[in-house]
Amino acid sequence: MSKLADLAAAGQAVWLDNVDRNFLKAGGLRKLIAEDGLTGVTSNPAIFEKAIGSGDAYDAGLGEFLTKADASVADTFESLAIADIRAACDDLRPVYDRLEGKDGYVSLEVSPYLALETEASLFEAKKLWAAVDRPNLMIKIPGTAPGTPAIRDAIAAGINVNVTLLFSLHAYKAVAHAYLEGLEARAARGEAVTGIASVASFFVSRIDSVIDKKIDERIAAGDKDASDLKALRGQVAIANAKLAYAWYQDLIASDRWQNLAAKGVMPQRLLWASTGVKDKAYPDTLYADALIGPDTVDTIPPATMDAFRDHGTVGQTLTAEVDAARQVIADAERLGLDLAGVTAQLVVDGVKSFADAADTLYGAVAAKRAAFLGNKLATLEAHLPADLQTAVDARLKQSTADAWSRRLWAGDATLWTGKDEGKWLGWLAAARGEQVDLAALETLADEARKYPDVVLLGMGGSSLGPEVIGLILGSGRGAPRLHVLDTTDPGQIATVEGEIDAKNTLFIVSSKSGSTLEPELLRAYWFDKAGQDGTHFVAVTDPGSNLEKTAKSDSYAHIFHGDPSIGGRYSVMSVFGMVPAAASGVDVAALIANARTMATSCGPDAPPAANPGIQLGAILGEAHNAGRNKLTIVTSDALKPFGSWLEQLTAESTGKLGKGIVPIDLEPLGDPADYSADRIFVQFGVAGDADHAKLAALQAAGHPVIRVTLTDLPQIAQEFVRWEVAIAIAGAVIGIDPFDQPDVEAAKIETRELVDAYEKSGQLDLPAVGGEQGDLVVYDGDAAALGKLFDGAEYAGVLAYIERDAAHEAAIEKMRVAVRNRTKRATVAGFGPRFLHSTGQAYKGGPKGAAFLVITREPSHDLTIPDRRASFGTVERAQALGDAKVLTDRGQRVLIVHLKREDALSQLVDLVTAA
């Protein structure tokens, strides 16, 4: 018989305070049962962290689990833990049977993140109880104030409970009563009360660790009570435990208990936890030796077991010298060691340290999952200058401690400004494919096949996502071509008109609000062109909008409802992105599968440092705070369209209150000498693409460089999700609400006033002409002002209210490169009115000191709008003027240049590049 087995004879059950797959597989537990009379096992998050977090013992099991289907980090961990716990339960089953349920238990703890949540703890206890499905399982629930009612209800539900994290007599009494109440509730309902087991895990060594430290500090400081204090070293934890046991004996003798005992219930045994000696100055069996007594359990870590087997001492120590124990506690009180304060703090620290262990464990599982997924997950590599890397590391540490992953998914508005941010997180569910009805999309895709073309009418979030998907993935075989019209430019509209037969085209009118000016005008225009036949019109809009009403009265073929808790720029994985994708034959299910993979990677259980979205958000936010607020987008040709979607997400979400990340899209890369230290570069490519030729030099020159690599094009959906999370998190780092767009409305009001005035007078109110040169009219300035416009600007913008085509893009690019190389400032460009619903927010509300060249032109062919005096060309011009006024009002530098002829842009390019 081993000394450990002798403990059983002394009335104490010996449990193993450890779980480890290799040990279980090698029959280690069965050996302890056979040789040491072991009758139970405990685990906790720190134990699993040690077992699973390092090494490869669990890799095969993890692979086996994830091969069946991708799963969250928490579910993956649980599958591994449950397998171990079941194996341990099965090893102990003969003991459980032999002792008729009095012992033979294995404990599994509820998530430490729930230690302060009653309902969630109870829910999880029930879930784990069902998942492990073994009668000799005990669910560990912390004996915190919120945990105590969960303990009572779990017992009442017939679940065996190991109450953990007990440090004080006070807390122990509360959970002992909770146990009785749970049993009494069952008895009152006429349910069986036999066969339900519980232990109360009273922690020992951690108390000495804190009290001894206090004692040492006071002695070192020359405390007058030094010798009395010294006498208490290593005494308080054991004394505290002895008093708990004395109270247990009183409880067992009480009438209340005896009433229950008469019904055959088992006592809730005290279990000594935290029995590994932490101070090497003490004998290594100190706690195991000192707390031996009947009807108790000692859960012992492996090293302490070895020590006890070798030189432990078995005796009835628990009931010995109880008065001396009372004296120790009284002395501790007299000497101001504040045991009550210490034990209260230990609960807080205990919850935190188990949560920290879970963070590390979940981080490790997340990394293993990512490794398992391999190229099914798009990769991101970041090369940051040392100071930025330090700030990012600190942010990831802080955000882990502050539970940002969980708070994001829980919709905790205090992550941002504490306003209504929590109401704008519907995109997280959409990222998991939960917003769309795939069957309805398939029906639409089938119907759409009879049309050669599908035209999407919408702005901003209602057009950019669909356009990115359409341009990057193309139409499916036999499916219609997708045209996106997000403009009032008559030339652009005419171009689409030349490409389609309006009477044989599917039109998708897309607007969340259902009241945005451009889609409303376009809808009216095309409805006429289509012979007022609503059967080839589809609406995508939030419930109850004006668009929905029109769609109903005009008998549209379908109305797809958006989710009002998703803002436009976050709507791509909802119907706003998926309806046009389905109509043009894109494999929507593949997009959703990709989005879900990334959403899982960015889940509430993936701690910040292992969470791709939060990691990126920390980089973007810290780069912004360090003055690197120009996110410069570099793409391979195939991924070029992605930039315009990312522009809206970034600019509209972060550009406000004078702060913000300014996205720089389609600005050709230059040499290090062409830039200031305000940049962060991100390159998007597909596996096999070469690095952009100039990127390495920029990285070497100390600029932060991020490289995103997709395995295939449908993985673009992963980037939607990664960047949505990242920008939300960057908002938290910057300290703004990423879900509002406070400065967009002002330009809309100005435009509306100009258009309304035009409807009455037939005249557009133009600013004063400053000068003319060739075919250019310069308003509120002259050609000389144009030469100086961008000097010293925070960044330079070219905002062109002209047709968006390759020639115009090339001309604008020429101006940008010239300005960038001359001024070293970042340059942005936008086609109006498209950019108004995208980057426009940041240009007005974001960083100040920017300079904008606003370009308007006389259209060669204007288009009339049904029931309006104003033509598309007039509305477009009014939009330019309205926005320019608001930009000026906000303190940005603005010069408007009007092209008297459609083809006069080259004259302006010459002026700007010559400056």
User: Which are the catalytic amino acids?
Assistant: 140
Q: Is 201 in the site for ligand E4P (CB under 6 A)?
A: yes
Q: In this chain, which stretch among 298-306, 431-439, 513-521, 608-616 interacts with ligand F6P, using CB under 6 A?
A: 513-521
Q: Judged by CB under 6 A, which of 12, 42, 400, 488 binds ligand E4P?
A: 42
Q: Write b or e for each residue in 380-416: b if 16 or more Cβ atoms lie within 10 A of its Cβ, otherwise e.
A: bebbbbeebeebbeebbeebbeebbbbbbbebbbebb
Q: Is 516 in the site for ligand F6P (CB under 6 A)?
A: yes
What sign does the dihedral 468-471-477-480 (CA atoms) show?
Answer: positive
Q: In this chain, which stretch among 2-10, 305-313, 508-516, 600-608 interacts with ligand F6P, using CB under 6 A?
A: 508-516
Q: Are the C-beta atoms of residues 468 and 638 closer than 8 Å to each other? A: no
Q: Is 112 in the site for ligand F6P (CB under 6 A)?
A: no
What is the residue whose two structure tokens read 């099914």?
376
**Count of residues engaged in binding ligand E4P, rule: CB under 6 A:** 13
State in angstroms the smallest separation of the CB of 274 from ligand E4P. Answer: 3
What sign does the dihedral 63-65-67-70 (CA atoms) show?
Answer: negative
What is the residue whose two structure tokens read 């398939």?
442
Please report, as residue ranges, which positions from 714 to 743 form the binding site for ligand F6P (by CB under 6 A). Answer: 741
Q: Is 859 in the site for ligand F6P (CB under 6 A)?
A: no
Q: Write b or e for each residue in 731-756: b if 16 or more Cβ atoms lie within 10 A of its Cβ, otherwise e.
A: bbbbebbbbbbebbebbbebbeebbe
Residue placing its CB nearer to ligand E4P in the complex, 201 or 296: 201
Please report, as residue ranges, which positions from 400 to 459 form the binding site for ligand F6P (by CB under 6 A). Answer: 459
Q: In this chain, which stretch among 39-47, 152-160, 516-524, 567-575 interacts with ligand E4P, using CB under 6 A?
A: 39-47
Residue placing its CB nearer to ligand E4P in the complex, 215 or 273: 273
Nearest Cα residue to 83 out of 14, 19, 4, 179? 19
Q: Judged by CB under 6 A, which of 39, 44, 268, 611 binds ligand E4P?
A: 44
DSSP string, 265-325: PPP-EEEEE--S---TTS-TTHHHHHT--TTEEEEE-HHHHHHHHHH---S--TTTTHHHH
Choose the contact partner of 299 out of ligand F6P, ligand E4P, none; CB within 5 to 8 A by kind: ligand E4P
Per-residue binding letters, 878-907, with ligand E4P (x by CB under 6 A): ------------------------------
Q: Is 274 in the site for ligand E4P (CB under 6 A)?
A: yes
Q: Are the C-beta atoms of residues 755 and 878 closer than 8 Å to each other? A: yes
DSSP string, 404-453: HHHHHHHT-GGGTTSSSGGGG-HHHHHHTT-SS-HHHHHHHHHHHTT-SE
Q: Are the C-beta atoms of residues 743 and 841 closer than 8 Å to each other? A: yes
Residue placing its CB nearer to ligand F6P in the complex, 476 or 577: 577
Choose the contact partner of 804 out of ligand E4P, ligand F6P, none; CB within 5 to 8 A by kind: none
State in angstroms the smallest separation of the CB of 512 from ligand F6P. Answer: 4
Q: In this chain, which stretch among 178-186, 203-211, 303-311, 836-844 interacts with ligand E4P, using CB under 6 A?
A: 203-211
Please report, as residue ranges, which positions from 627 to 686 form the binding site for ligand F6P (by CB under 6 A). Answer: 652
- For the chain, the residue count is 915
Q: Is 296 in the site for ligand E4P (CB under 6 A)?
A: no
| Nearest residue to the partner ligand E4P, using Cβ | 274
Residue placing its CB nearer to ligand E4P in the complex, 206 or 656: 206
Residue type, 914: A
Element (H, E) at 884: helix 872-889
Residue 145, number of CB atoms within 10 A of its CB = 12
Choose the contact partner of 513 out of ligand F6P, ligand E4P, none; CB within 5 to 8 A by kind: ligand F6P
Q: How many CA atoms lie within 13 A of 5 on its CB side?
A: 9
Please report, as residue ranges, which positions from 694 to 713 form the binding site for ligand E4P (by CB under 6 A). Answer: none
Q: Is 360 in the site for ligand E4P (CB under 6 A)?
A: no
Contact partners, residue 804, CB within 8 Å, separation at least 6: 487, 489, 492, 831, 834
Per-residue binding letters, 812-841, with ligand F6P (x by CB under 6 A): -------------------------x----
Q: Is 198 in the site for ligand F6P (CB under 6 A)?
A: no
Contact partners, residue 6, CB within 8 Å, separation at least 6: 314
Residue placing its CB nearer to ligand F6P in the complex, 445 or 744: 744
Please report, as residue ranges, which positions from 570 to 609 form the binding site for ligand F6P (by CB under 6 A). Answer: none
Choose the contact partner of 461 out of ligand F6P, ligand E4P, none; CB within 5 to 8 A by kind: ligand F6P
Choose the contact partner of 568 out of ligand E4P, ligand F6P, none; CB within 5 to 8 A by kind: ligand F6P
Choose the contact partner of 837 out of ligand F6P, ligand E4P, none; CB within 5 to 8 A by kind: ligand F6P
Residues 588-593: contacts with CB under 8 Å, at least 24 apart = 588/436, 588/438, 588/441, 588/445, 589/438, 590/714, 590/717, 591/469, 591/714, 591/716, 591/717, 592/433, 592/436, 592/438, 592/717, 593/433
Beta bridge partners of 831: 800
State in angstroms the smallest separation of the CB of 44 from ligand E4P. Answer: 4
Q: Is 17 in the site for ligand E4P (CB under 6 A)?
A: yes
Residue placing its CB nearer to ligand E4P in the complex, 17 or 295: 17
Choose the contact partner of 42 out of ligand F6P, ligand E4P, none; CB within 5 to 8 A by kind: ligand E4P
Q: Judged by CB under 6 A, which of 40, 53, 276, 685 binds ligand E4P?
A: 276
Q: Is 285 in the site for ligand E4P (CB under 6 A)?
A: no
Please report, as residue ranges, which positions from 147 to 186 form the binding site for ligand F6P (by CB under 6 A). Answer: none
CA angle 645/595/636 to nearest 5° reads 45
What distance in Å separates the CA atoms of residue 583 and residue 452, rounded to the nearest whole number? 11
Q: Is 273 in the site for ligand E4P (CB under 6 A)?
A: yes
3 state DSSP class of 455: strand
Q: Are the C-beta atoms of residues 858 and 718 closer than 8 Å to each other? A: no
Per-residue binding letters, 457-476, with ligand F6P (x by CB under 6 A): --xxxx--------------
Choose the contact partner of 17 out of ligand F6P, ligand E4P, none; CB within 5 to 8 A by kind: ligand E4P
Residue placing its CB nearer to ligand E4P in the complex, 129 or 779: 129
Residue placing its CB nearer to ligand E4P in the complex, 205 or 611: 205
Strands 198-203, 269-273: pairing is parallel
What is the residue whose two structure tokens read 């070895």?
306
What distance in Å separates the CA atoms of residue 603 and residue 601, rounded to the nearest whole number? 5
Residue placing its CB nearer to ligand E4P in the complex, 299 or 462: 299
Q: How many CA atoms lie within 13 A of 117 on its CB side?
A: 11
Strand order in the sheet with 558-561: 481-485, 453-457, 505-510, 537-541, 558-561
Contact partners, residue 899, CB within 8 Å, separation at least 6: 775, 776, 802, 855, 856, 857, 858, 905, 907, 908
Please report, as residue ranges, which positions from 46 to 65 form the binding site for ligand E4P (by CB under 6 A). Answer: 46
Q: Is 494 exposed, middle or buried (0-12, 13-18, 19+ CB in 10 A)?
A: middle
Residues that bind ligand F6P (CB under 6 A): 459-462, 511-513, 516, 519, 568-569, 652, 741, 744, 837
| Interaction site with ligand E4P (CB under 6 A) | 17, 42, 44, 46, 164, 201, 203, 205-206, 273-274, 276, 299
